[in-house]
Amino acid sequence: MTHRRPPLPLLLPALLTVLGVLLPLVYLVVRAFGAEGTELREIVFRARNLELLGNTLLLTAATLLTTTLLALPLAYVAARTTLRPRWLPMLLGVLPLAIPGYVGAYALIAASGPGGTIQAWTGLNWPGPTGFWGALGVLTLFTFPYLFLNLQSALRSLDPALEDAARLLGRTRRQTFVAITLPHLRPAWLSGGLLIALHVLGDFSVVSLMRYPTFSAAIYQQYTAAYDRVYSAWLALGLLLVTGAVLWLEARLMRGLHLSRVSPGGAREPRRVSLGRAAPLAWAFLAALAGATLVVPLGTVLHWLRLDTNPYAWAGLQEALQGALGAAALAALTTTALAFPLAYIGSRAQGRLARITERAAYLGYATPPLAFALALIFFTLRLAPPLYQTFPLLIAAYTLHFVAEAVGPIRTGLTRATPRLEEAARVLGQSGAGALRRVTLPLLRPGLLVSAAFVFLSVLKELPLTLLLAPIGFETLARNVWTYTEEAQYAAAAPYALALALSGAGLTLLILRRERPRERRPKGKDRP
């Protein structure tokens, strides 16, 4: 059922969500321009800003390149080859999502140098990662799954008739891949690359641990150490401008992109190719990837668990685990509840108001977490000081930041729940609300569960919002991993890192199981 105007009961919470996203950002602008004329010029034209901009853009571009070099061959092996078991490359491409970047950075730092895990295992004093190359390595290893999932799905859904036509015209397999397959992966690459770029722009934990100055690291330092709120507001605005430029560039590259199908019917399953002599190389690639993303991080955590650790760290593990799981569960409920009206309006309603309402909510997700937290701090201190550093404000921040992440699975479910079912219910005497409750919502249950699981996992790993907005004394796994790692207390950080990695792995596998389409398995042996 398509509405010209969004239903009022759904429009009100959607508008409140948009208002909650926009007002703090507006106040951030007001705060930034509150400086005196001389001070304002000194802040805007500070040479440090150009250095931070250059470092941020360089790291983002380099991470996009290295994640592509890692995700593309892995996606091809998973989607187009006969390598067995088939679930192995898929698992290696998804499980690193369970390990936050700061946990990966902690593990690599603790594994290297004198007394590190690598020296304990092999006797080699492996140099510790630091600076640009350290930040690039960690961000590559733990963000490439965003690109892998998009590329793997695109390779599986690409119409094989296009490649068959190229082969019939005399193109080799390599020429066909370059001329036909790669151009059709462009939308998937842009979608996954956008997520990675937003992640790198908003990350401050990895770059801080690696001592590489970027906008996000400077924002955290200015607010927490220098207490310069005007300059931190300007840095946040600079980061927002960079993020806006990335969003504009992605939209510009996607504009006018039309990819046609050759076969008029349903898509055939792409033919899988045998690796042949390249099989040992593929296995070496998978082994190296598993070692870097899973074996070294988890092995380092277990190594430090065996050492003498701070008894206070173990004593606080249960409290931190309860705090993290409780906040993640509550935020998953509130975020999914607010995402449903936005998804319903976006898929069922027409008009400019519907488009603006849905798109504006994505601004909260596109805004780097540190900038968003800073905007909320300024806004609450000015208009509602009692809310500062309270649990409701923290949950509100989680909800507003991750609501766009929950919209996607719900919108996918709404495309499958055809509006004609609601129309049939209305014909049979149901009211609009009754049809929604008795027909649409039951069909949306899988999408709602996936949305809640996505948000739960994201909140569990979230660090910037937690550090700046959490109430005094409120402990989470992420916060304690960061605190102990920053003080080089690796053994004390190990229990929290392990609990966070195991919790994230369980949720990641659950999401993968529910999201993975059921493959048709023909009888007999697989065709080559």
Residue-wise pLDDT tens digits, 21-30: 888 788 778 8
Q: What single letter denotes the amino acid at residue 81? A: T
The listed range with the strongest mean pLDDT (188-202, 243-257, 295-309, 405-419) is 188-202
Q: What is the dihedral of CA 147, 151, 154, 159, to 10 degrees?
A: 160
**Which whole number is the average pLDDT over 29-56?**
80
Q: Is cis: bond before 419, omega within 30 of 0?
A: no
Reported as a single tens digit per residue, the pLDDT across 119-149 is 777 777 788 888 999 999 999 999 999 899 8
* 431 domain-assigned: yes
Count of C-beta atoms within a 10 Å radius of residue 279: 13
Q: What is the DSSP string of 434-445?
A: HHIIIIIHHHHH
Q: Give the orientation angle of helix 317-348 with respect to helix 441-461, to 10 degrees.
A: 140
**Which whole number is the average pLDDT over 31-48?**
75
Closest CA to 215 of 194, 236, 195: 236
* 104 domain-assigned: yes
Per-residue model confidence (pLDDT) at position 6: 58
CATH code, 13: 1.10.3720.10
Q: Are residues 96 and 149 in the same domain?
A: yes
The residue out of 455, 474, 493 marking a domain boundary is 474
Would the pLDDT of 515 be above 60? no
Q: Are residues 399 and 450 in the same domain?
A: yes
Please give the residue range of the domain that contains residue 368: 1-36+317-474
Would the pLDDT of 312 be above 50? yes
* 129 domain-assigned: yes
Q: Are residues 329 and 367 in the same domain?
A: yes
Percentage of the residues of the chain whose pLDDT score is greater than 90: 17
* 175 domain-assigned: yes
Q: Which residues of 234-246 are buried (b: 16+ CB within 10 A; e: fewer)?
A: bbbbbbbebbeeb
Q: Are residues 183 and 212 in the same domain?
A: yes
Q: Are residues 378 and 456 in the same domain?
A: yes
- Residue 320 CB contacts under 8 Å (≥ 6 apart), including other chains: 475, 476, 477, 479, 480, 496, 499
Per-residue model confidence (pLDDT) at position 157: 74
Reported as a single tens digit per residue, the pLDDT across 206-219 is 998 899 999 888 88
* 263 domain-assigned: no
Would the pLDDT of 65 be above 70? yes
Q: Are residues 184 and 80 in the same domain?
A: yes
Q: If you search the block for the tokens 């080859």, which residue do you land on?
A: 81
Q: Are residues 340 and 425 in the same domain?
A: yes
The residue out of 474, 490, 511 marking a domain boundary is 474
Q: Are residues 222 and 362 in the same domain?
A: no
* 517 domain-assigned: no
Closest CA to 143 of 183, 186, 171, 105: 105
Q: Are residues 224 and 336 in the same domain?
A: no
3-state percent helix, strand, coil for the chain, nearest multiple of 5: 80, 0, 20
**Which whole number is the average pLDDT over 263-285?**
75
* 496 domain-assigned: no
Query: Phi/psi of residue 462, each to 5°?
Result: -65, 130
* 482 domain-assigned: no
Query: Phi/psi of residue 273, each to 5°?
Result: -105, 150
- pLDDT higher for 256 or 214? 214
Report the SS3 class of residue 3: strand
Strands (E), 229-371: none
CA distance 327 to 357: 27
Query: Phi/psi of residue 284, each to 5°?
Result: -65, -40
Long-range contacts made by residues 25-30, C-beta under 8 angstroms, separation at least 24? Answer: 25/240, 25/363, 25/367, 25/372, 25/375, 27/375, 27/378, 27/379, 27/382, 28/233, 28/236, 28/237, 28/371, 28/374, 28/375, 28/378, 28/379, 29/237
**Which whole number is the average pLDDT over 45-49?**
81
**Which whole number is the average pLDDT over 191-197?**
87
The count of structural domains within the chain is 2
pLDDT category, 349, cuts 50, 70, 90? Answer: low
The residue out of 237, 272, 307 marking a domain boundary is 307
Q: Are residues 141 and 242 in the same domain?
A: yes
Q: Are residues 375 and 290 in the same domain?
A: no
Find out whether 35 and 43 touch, Cβ atoms under 8 Å: yes
**Which whole number is the average pLDDT over 155-166?**
71
Q: Are residues 98 and 204 in the same domain?
A: yes
Per-residue model confidence (pLDDT) at position 27: 78
pLDDT category, 235, cuts 50, 70, 90? Answer: confident
Would the pLDDT of 199 be above 70? yes
Would the pLDDT of 262 be above 60? no
Q: Which of 79-88, 265-274, 423-432, 513-522 is the least confident region? A: 513-522
CA distance 196 to 214: 16
